[in-house]
Chain A
Amino acid sequence: MGQRVSPREAAAAALQRGLFRLFSVAMPAAPGRRLPASRGTLGWMLAYILALVVSHAGLRHVDSALPRIGVALLPLVPVVALVLLSVRRVLGMDELERRLEAVALAVTALVTWLALGACWMLEHAGVALDPARIGFLGIPALYLVARHGARLRYA
């Protein structure tokens, strides 16, 4: 007999499936199979999003400076966990995947750095930009493109 699933549970399951699919493309697994990202990674990613939401909402209710900084830095906790998991993921890759990762990260880091300079110049020229917002969305996209390019070139 099938159990009734609430719309909220269905939405959560759909989100989880989507994130699994997204990360199975972005993150190749240890020896070489494409991985679905580990449940730990997904969990911390969701924790990061939740921390962003809580931080955003919490800042409206906190007035003094120091607590505001604490609330604003709340998302750093899952960030540290995600970085550690990411390092573990790379260490588990085989040598070709590590090369692809290195190329993608090198391209992403260099383009990000140079693009920030270009953003500042554009701001001096009077073009209103929000580099942080552009980077938040653009860096993951750039990483995926760079990784795809590296795969085409080396694999």
Chain B
Amino acid sequence: MNNRIRDLRGAQGWSQADLAERLDVSRQTVNAIETGKYDPSLPLAFKIARLFGQPIESIFDPGSST
């Protein structure tokens, strides 16, 4: 699954560690999600969407798998 988290994070000027802290996960988890190695759980995906103030489907693209 592709996602736009890296772009959204960059737009906020946050590091992976900053985002990890806001999501209460590890920096490694943020990195794995950004690189498409790991698909987040639904609660975490909603948390990410809420944090960036965007609908979940505008951040995650389920159509194309990695």
Residues of A within 8 A of B (CB): 28, 31-33, 94-97, 99, 153-155
Q: Which residues of B contact A (CB under 8 A)?
A: 20, 24-29, 31-32, 37-38, 40-41, 44
In the bound complex, do residue B26 and residue A32 qualify as a contact, i.e. CB atoms below 8 Å apart? yes
Pick the 9 closest A-B CB pairs, nearest first. Answer: A32-B26, A96-B29, A94-B25, A155-B32, A155-B28, A95-B41, A94-B26, A31-B24, A94-B29
Cβ-defined contact, B32 with A28, below 8 A = no
Complexed CA–CA distance, A99 and B32 (Å): 12
A97 and chain B: residue at smallest CB distance:
B26
A155 to chain B: which residues have CB within 8 Å?
28-29, 31-32, 37-38
Smallest beta-carbon distance B25→chain A, Å: 4
Q: For the complex, give the distance between the alpha carbons of A133 and B41 in Å.
A: 40
